[in-house]
Amino acid sequence: MATLRSYVQGSWYSPADSADSGRPLHDAVTGEEIARISSAGVDFAGVLEHGRRVGGPALRELTFHQRAGLLKALAGHLREHRDALYAVSARTGATLGDSKFDVDGGIGVLQAYASTGRRELPNDTVFVDGAVEPLSRGGTFVGQHVATSLRGIAVQVNAFNFPVWGPLEKLAPAFLAGVPSVIKPASPTAFLTAKLVELIVDSGLLPEGTLQFVAGGIGDLFDHLTDQDLVSFTGSAATAARLRTHPTIVHRAVRFTAEADSLNLSILGPDAAPGTPEFDLYASGLVAEMTVKAGQKCTAIRRAFVPEQHVDAVVEAVSARLAKTVIGNPAAEGVRMGALASLEQREEVRRCVKTLADAGRIVYGDAEKVEVLDADAERGAFVSPLLLTADPDRAEPHEVEAFGPVSTVMAYTGTEQVVELAARGQGSLVGSVVTADPAFARDVVLGVAPWHGRLLVLNERDGKESTGHGSPLPALVHGGPGRAGGGEEMGGIRGVLHHMQRTAVQADPDTLTAITGRWVQGAQRTETDVHPFRRHLEELRPGDTIVAGPRTVTQSDVEHFAEFTGDTFYAHMDAEAAAANPLFGERVAHGYLILSLAAGLFVDPDPGPVLANFGVDNLRFLTPVKFGDELTVTLTCKQLTPRDSAGYGEVRWDADVTRQDGESVARYDVLTLVAKKEGAQ
């Protein structure tokens, strides 16, 4: 039987063991042995060294946008080959729907990070985090946070239930941040991750050393970690606790995040009685969470809290739906729920269900028996969906995670009580509240939020378009406090910044501009003969400035603007009312008139490299402008963001509109698209 290969130090490595040794991996549906897994002989210190020496420098040479471009290309490549992944995925017990959840979900994460990278990160290798902090009266000493790529490796230990999504959701933010990855899949389904890595390596898209793959244990790898490395773990709380207390993790302060077990809840609102759309959403949501991936989802609903008076109706509705769920060989027509990932996993689920049943009773299903289509229920890792009821005051339902198609319904009598029961899960990934009552939703969400990473409020209004309870989304935090691990694996830009070091840089404005490539207030401005709007992207430099004005604001300007736009607010038009206004004391110009006059001053009207103005950021009106005031605008090129795939880029300008006495009346960033030189792409 073939032993899975690892992809380390630039090539595929077959374990030193003879082909028959290593841990056997089985087809979850037939029980047949598929492969063996062993990492015997892998040089783990060498793996880390290869990533640091080869992968890290190659990645850090690329800008965020270039890395995003590679992630996009990789997503496209994997999409083209997803049938090959579905085929292997079926052997983990997954139905086609489950496989899509895993495979397409993973590809979706790559895509999401590709667009986040281009949208929210600069076309640069340093991320400027937040605003400049003034630190001195004279403005010669300022502070700015910057984030730079850690110089180490992201070691990614994954759980068995998402062999494609799991690795990709960790790879994407690390790659975008400029940190190479070492992927270690969970053994039972590692054959699918191996296929994924094979496709990635064959694509030739990722620079060498940016992705390595270890099939099997990770030996002494942790001993060789340094302060620049990270470990992202997904799996059980017990393993998380063991790994996070490894002496190297502790002594070298290695960044360690865990996504662990979670006793996720779903709460039915008292308003959602049988017959309401919310009741149906609740019942169908619970069934989906029990049966998709045969309940092997870290986000699946384990605790179903239901108003006392609706418990029987919920049990009845859920049981009726479960009875219609065909279980069996994922390849067979009509099968809705496949097998668990392994026979060991089934034993573990049965053991947990026994404990849960001691605290209540099974109201649907039999843990030892299940009817299956086109498969042998015993040789394959099949188990029936199991619905239980329990006394909410027992500890077990809040503590025991049966990682399969298992949920426990518990009755509650009031909002305060259900919030208190929620907290007994000691920290969860996700919770849902199904209600059409906004007041109940507010009380529950704000009550249980400290114990949750994500909360879904579901009702008739969002039910159709909702992505559901169990789907983590790349743009939103995925992770949870306490028992759920305390980590944030995903979550858009947060996941990227986790792989970077944030540093507060204190300097004078000119030096800070040189360091970050972004002009900051107080730094030198360069007034040139050529209007900056006549310059192409490559010719512009941060600091290029035009000063235009003055222009006197008159009463007739204000009245003309008021009549023309219809904005006849009293502060502009009614002298008596304006005099009574505590902020103005007399009639003042419209803020938008100031913006318009400023544009009239700085714009160069002829066709040229400036293609469009696509917005303003950070607009503040600072001082009222009165009739007779003279306005001058200083427009300074602040930041250039070339787009790799277009003949133009974004230019951010600092606009400072001042009065005759030098006082700023308005400040904002003007956002424009500026063409590259002809022919440039």
Which DSSP category does 26 fall into? E
Whose Cβ is closer to ligand NAP: residue 182's or residue 597's? 182
Q: According to the binding rule CB under 6 A, does residue 260 interact with ligand NAP?
A: yes
List, in sequence order, every beta strand (DSSP E) within 508-625.
Answer: 526-527, 544-552, 610-621
As a 3-state breakdown, the chain gives helix, strand, coil percent values, each rounded to 5, of 35, 25, 35
Residue 522 falls in which region: left (phi positive, over 0), alpha (psi -120 to 50) or beta: left
Per the CB < 8 A criterion, the answer to whether 414 and 407 are in contact is no
d(CA 67, CA 34): 35
Residue 157 within binding range of ligand NAP, rule CB under 6 A? yes
Cβ distance 235 to 401 under 8 Å? no
Q: How many other CB atoms sit within 10 Å of the CB of residue 224?
A: 16
Residue 205's Cβ-side half-sphere holds a number of Cα atoms within 13 Å equal to: 19
Out of 161, 181, 389, 639, which residue is the one contacting ligand NAP (CB under 6 A)? Answer: 161
- DSSP H/E element including 545: strand 544-552
Contact positions with ligand NAP (CB under 6 A) in 65-94: none
CB proximity list for 171: less than 8 A, separation 6 or greater: 110, 156, 181, 183, 211
Q: Which is nearer to ligand NAP, 321 or 469 (CB)?
A: 469
State the binding string over 449-488 for ligand NAP (x if CB under 6 A, else -): -----------------------------------xx---
Residues 288-317 that bind ligand NAP (CB under 6 A): 298
Q: Which stretch binds ligand NAP (CB under 6 A): 55-63, 256-264, 431-439, 566-574?
A: 256-264
Nearer to ligand NAP by Cβ, of 143 and 217: the residue is 217
- Give the residue from 524, 514, 515, 504 showing the smallest Cα distance to 139: 524
- C-alpha 460/C-alpha 458 separation (Å) is 7
Write the DSSP string, 129-163.
Answer: EEEEEE-SSSSS-EEEEEEEE-SS-EEEE--SS-T
Q: Does 6 bind ligand NAP (CB under 6 A)?
A: no
Residue 233 C-beta: closest distance to ligand NAP, Å: 7
Task: Quote the CA–CA distance of 189 and 338 in Å, as a whole number.
Answer: 15
Would you say 235 or 642 has its CB closer to ligand NAP? 235
Question: At its nearest, how many Å lie between ligand NAP and the CB of residue 417?
Answer: 26
Which of 64, 101, 113, 160 touches ligand NAP by CB under 6 A?
160
- Nearer to ligand NAP by Cβ, of 486 and 522: the residue is 486
Using CB under 6 A, which of 107, 429, 430, 597 touches ligand NAP?
Answer: 429
Beta-ladder partners of 547: 634
For residue 189, the 8-state DSSP code is G
| Residue 187 in contact with ligand NAP, rule: CB under 6 A | yes
Among all residues, whose Cβ is closest to ligand NAP?
Answer: 235
Told to check if 234 binds ligand NAP by CB under 6 A, we report: yes
Identified binder of ligand NAP from the candidate list 91, 184, 587, 659, rule CB under 6 A: 184
Among 3, 158, 264, 266, binds ligand NAP (CB under 6 A): 158
Q: Is 235 in the site for ligand NAP (CB under 6 A)?
A: yes
Sign for the pseudo-dihedral over CA of 431, 433, 439, 440: negative
Nearer to ligand NAP, 158 or 389 (CB): 158
**Which helix H or strand E contains 184, and what residues bound it?**
strand 181-184
Q: In what order do the strands lie in the sheet with 526-527?
A: 526-527, 544-552, 630-642, 648-658, 664-675, 610-621
360 near ligand NAP, rule: CB under 6 A: no
Residues 399-418 that bind ligand NAP (CB under 6 A): 401, 403
**Contact range with ligand NAP by CB under 6 A, out of 55-63, 90-98, 258-266, 494-502:** 258-266
**Range in contact with ligand NAP (rule: CB under 6 A) among 122-130, 228-236, 370-378, 668-676:** 228-236
Structure tokens at 221: 């790898």
Q: Among residues 40, 58, 199, 218, which is the contact residue for ligand NAP, using CB under 6 A?
A: 218
From the list 25-33, 158-166, 324-332, 661-669, the region that binds ligand NAP by CB under 6 A is 158-166
Minimum distance of ligand NAP from residue 242's CB (angstroms):
6
In the bound state with ligand NAP, the residue whose beta carbon lies nearer, of 212 and 262, is 262
Q: In terms of CB distance, is 158 or 266 closer to ligand NAP?
A: 158
- Angle at 385 (CA atoms; ends 381, 388), nearest 5 degrees: 130
d(CA 471, CA 480) in angstroms, rounded, equals 14
Tell me if 186 contacts ligand NAP by CB under 6 A. yes
* Interacting residues with ligand NAP between 41 and 70 (CB under 6 A): none
Closest to 317 (Cα-Cα) out of 269, 368, 278, 354: 278
| DSSP 8-state code for residue 522 | T
473 closest CA partner among 491, 495, 498, 487: 491
Among 27, 98, 261, 629, binds ligand NAP (CB under 6 A): 261
**How many residues belong to the site for ligand NAP (CB under 6 A)?**
26
Q: Residue 189 Cβ, how far from ligand NAP at the closest point, in Å?
A: 8
Q: Are the C-beta atoms of residues 327 and 382 closer than 8 Å to each other?
A: yes
Contact 629, 659 (CB under 8 A): yes
User: Which stretch in 51-59, 231-239, 404-412, 507-515 sits in contact with ligand NAP by CB under 6 A?
Assistant: 231-239
φ/ψ bin of 41: left (φ > 0), alpha (ψ from -120 to 50), beta (otherwise) = left
Quote the CA–CA distance of 564 and 21 in Å, as a whole number: 84
264 binds ligand NAP (CB under 6 A): no
| Nearer of residues 217 and 647 to ligand NAP, judged by Cβ | 217
Contact status: 636 vs ligand NAP (CB under 6 A): no
Which span (26-34, 154-162, 359-367, 512-520) binds ligand NAP, by CB under 6 A? 154-162
- Of 193, 236, 291, 658, the one binding ligand NAP (CB under 6 A) is 236
Active-site annotation, residues: 259, 298
CA distance 672 to 532: 12
| Distance, C-alpha 345 to centroid of its chain | 29
Residue 237 CB, shortest distance to ligand NAP, in Å, is 7
CA nearest neighbour of 554 among 595, 579, 589, 590: 589
Residue 218 or 249: which CB sits closer to ligand NAP? 218
Q: Tell the smallest beta-carbon distance from residue 69 to ligand NAP (Å).
A: 28
Residue ranges in 551-580 that form contacts with ligand NAP under rule CB under 6 A:
none
Residue at token pair 């605008």: 633
Neighbours of 486 (CB within 10 A): 18
Nearer to ligand NAP by Cβ, of 480 and 532: the residue is 480
**CB-based contact 226:152 (threshold 8 Å):** yes
Pick the closer one to ligand NAP by CB: 428 or 641: 428
Which of 187/672 has CB closer to ligand NAP? 187
CB of 218 to ligand NAP, least distance (A): 5
259 binds ligand NAP per the rule CB under 6 A: yes
Minimum CB separation from ligand NAP for residue 328, in Å?
23
Contact 450, 285 (CB under 8 A): no
**Position 516 contacts ligand NAP (CB under 6 A):** no
Instruction: Say if CB 617 and CB 671 are below 8 A apart.
Output: yes
The footprint of ligand NAP (CB under 6 A) covers 157-161, 184, 186-187, 217-218, 234-236, 239, 242-243, 259-262, 298, 401, 403, 429, 484-485
